[in-house]
Amino acid sequence: MERSVKHGLKLEDLASGLAKMVLQSIEKSKLEYLIKCGVNPENSKHRFEIVILSLCSLKSAILIAQQSSMLNQRKGSELFLYVEQLLKISYVDVLTLGYGDQFENLLEKRYEEYESRDTPVSTIPRIGLRFSRNIGIDDLAIVLWAEMKYRKFRLKYVDFLKMTYDRYDLIY
């Protein structure tokens, strides 16, 4: 019986793919439902908050991958750092936030906000409420959308990381 050999995949290349997945969350076709609820695809604050929601889901997915031994602590941390850096470089609306450390400070604040509300037993859509407040639109449809999307994004990232782990050895 012949064993399949895993090929190497650089963390930077995986990070590039994940950064593209995060940015897919703001494609116009993905925002059609939100536009009906008042989200403005031309508003950089609205788009940026959607990217942060997706990025927070990725951070949570990487933690899940680390707990299930798909990624070790160092690789998971480095992978997430690469994704953050690629987004900081490639996301043009970051320029409206000023300097890079302002971007990083905002990300850190958002991570804390979303992570503190990410509890499996909560019946209140707490992540959705935070998202709604962050974009300045109090609409129950947006609250529910953000809550469901956070979970769907995370599942998508976990599946992607699992598929990658099954096929490749991650290398530096």
On the question of pLDDT at 102 being above 80, the answer is no
Q: Which tens digit of pLDDT belongs to each residue from 26-74? A: 888 888 889 999 998 888 889 889 999 999 999 999 999 999 988 899 9
DSSP labels, 1-38: -PPPPPEEEEHHHHHHHHHHHHHHTTSHHHHHHHHHTT
Inside any domain, residue 104: yes
For residue 172, tell me if it sits in a domain: no
Q: Is residue 4 in a domain?
A: no
- At residue 1, the pLDDT reads 47
Is 107 contained in some domain?
Answer: yes
What is the number of alpha carbons within 13 Å of residue 66 lying toward its C-beta? 15
Domain count, the chain: 1
> Residue 1 corresponds to which amino acid?
M
Q: What is the pTM of this model?
A: 0.87
> Is residue 3 domain-resident?
no
pLDDT at 97 over 90: no
Domain with 28 in it: 11-167
Taking the C-alpha atoms of residue 171 and residue 19, their distance in angstroms, rounded to an integer, is: 18
* pLDDT band at 93; cut points 50, 70, 90: low
Report if residue 1 sits inside a domain: no
